[in-house]
């Protein structure tokens, strides 16, 4: 009997426009668009391998999957899987690192350029007749902010943070970073700083770190008090890195200028999330990783992870 492979929540990664064939070649594949918690154990009871994007796999569920030997995370972050419980049960957990680096970085810069140039605002105005009926050849509805000469602060210098830094340098920005890396590990244009300096000196702060118990709410009330009133915050990493209430209050009171975020503390966000009320918090629905190129790479590398495990040479193991 072929090994059973179950994808628990495949819809966001592949809504039908891509192929699961690379996984299907490795066993009996069953793909579910979404799986509520109460159906996880039933759907994965006899699975040899499961793949999850955001479905939580905890100790309780692991005990109900006697045949399970492999968990593939259809993402880079794996905080939705109890990796310690999986290890104790002899279940390998693998993620997919760096599949969406360029896609995520592009999203962060799209937010920043939209905020600094107000591209969407002016486009809407032109289509509503603003330029046709203007007395002048040009008009401006908001300040246009030039990036050259400003300071880009970065928290998290992995693949994404390093790419953000490279582009910031190309824009003529000064680049500072709060990082565990030592100066000789960094290109000359990145200047390491302490946390207080990161917040006080940054004109733009890019949050690019993974989320851990230690850095939850890295951007909190006290950190925001250190920032310039003209500062912009970008986050395409994890929503939990920012205290939503504190950020909303800082935006509302004009203590920082704007935010461009692709992730929130709860996803989908609750209807009363305070950031939804702030006009200068530009929000996209966790789409930074969703370019066609990135999603194809995610599925391909997920299949490669399972194949490597089946051949006895596991890769991208997180537990």
Task: Cite the active site residues.
Answer: 238, 267, 286
Cβ burial, residue 254 (10 Å; 0-12/13-18/19+): exposed
Instruction: Write out the chain's pLDDT in tens, 319 residues.
Output: 579 999 999 999 999 999 999 999 999 999 999 999 999 999 999 999 999 999 999 999 999 999 999 999 999 889 899 999 999 999 999 999 999 999 999 999 999 999 999 999 999 999 999 999 999 999 999 999 999 999 999 999 999 999 999 999 999 999 999 999 988 899 999 999 999 999 999 999 999 998 888 999 999 999 999 999 999 999 999 999 999 999 999 999 999 999 999 999 999 999 999 999 999 999 999 999 999 999 999 999 999 999 999 999 999 999 9
pLDDT at residue 210, rounded to an integer:
87
What sections of the chain are H helices per DSSP? 21-24, 37-44, 59-62, 83-88, 101-117, 119-127, 159-170, 195-201, 221-225, 244-252, 292-310
Contact between 207 and 178 under an 8 Å Cβ cutoff? The reply is no
DSSP secondary structure string for all residues of 220-244: -HHHHHTS-TT-EEEE-S-GGGB-H
Contact between 57 and 47 under an 8 Å Cβ cutoff? The reply is no
pLDDT at residue 68, rounded to an integer:
97
Expressed in percent and rounded to 5, the helix, strand and coil fractions of the chain are 35, 15, 50
Any idea which fold 4-97+292-310 has? Rossmann fold (3.40.50)
Domain 101-283: what homologous superfamily? NAD(P)-binding Rossmann-like Domain (3.40.50.720)
**Count of residues making up the chain:** 319
Residue spans in the chain of domains classed CATH 3.40.50.720: 4-97+292-310, 101-283
Measured over all CA atoms, what is the biggest interatomic distance in the chain, rounded to whole angstroms?
76
């Amino acid at each position: 009997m072929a090994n059973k492979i179950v994808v628990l929540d495949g819809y966001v990664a592949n809504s039908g426009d891509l192929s699961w064939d690379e996984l299907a070649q490795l066993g009996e594949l069953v793909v579910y668009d979404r799986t509520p918690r109460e159906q996880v154990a039933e759907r994965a009871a006899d699975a040899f391998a499961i793949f999850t994007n955001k479905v939580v796999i905890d100790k309780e569920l692991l005990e109900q999957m006697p045949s399970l030997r492999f968990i593939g995370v259809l993402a880079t972050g794996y905080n939705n899987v109890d990796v310690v419980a999986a290890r104790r049960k002899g279940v390998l957990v693998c993620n997919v690192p760096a599949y969406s680096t360029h896609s995520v970085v592009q999203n962060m810069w799209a937010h920043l350029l939209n905020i600094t140039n107000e591209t969407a605002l002016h486009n809407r105005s032109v289509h509503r007749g603003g330029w046709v009926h203007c007395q002048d050849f040009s008009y401006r509805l908001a300040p246009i902010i030039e990036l050259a000469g400003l300071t880009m602060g970065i928290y998290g210098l992995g693949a994404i943070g390093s790419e953000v830094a490279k582009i910031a340098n190309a824009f003529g920005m000064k680049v500072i970073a709060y990082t565990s890396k030592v100066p000789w590990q960094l290109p000359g244009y990145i200047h390491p700083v302490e946390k207080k300096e990161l917040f006080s000196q940054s004109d733009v702060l890019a949050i690019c770190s993974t989320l851990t118990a230690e850095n939850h709410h890295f951007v909190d009330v006290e950190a925001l008090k250190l920032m310039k009133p003209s500062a912009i915050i970008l986050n395409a990493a994890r929503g939990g890195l920012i205290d939503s209430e504190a950020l909303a209050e800082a935006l509302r009171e004009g203590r920082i200028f704007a935010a461009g975020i692709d992730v929130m503390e709860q996803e989908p966000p609750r209807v009363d999330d305070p950031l939804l009320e702030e006009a200068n918090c530009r929000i996209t629905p966790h789409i930074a990783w969703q370019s066609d190129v990135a999603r194809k790479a995610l599925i391909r590398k997920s299949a490669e992870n399972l194949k490597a495990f089946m051949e006895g040479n596991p890769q991208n193991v997180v537990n």
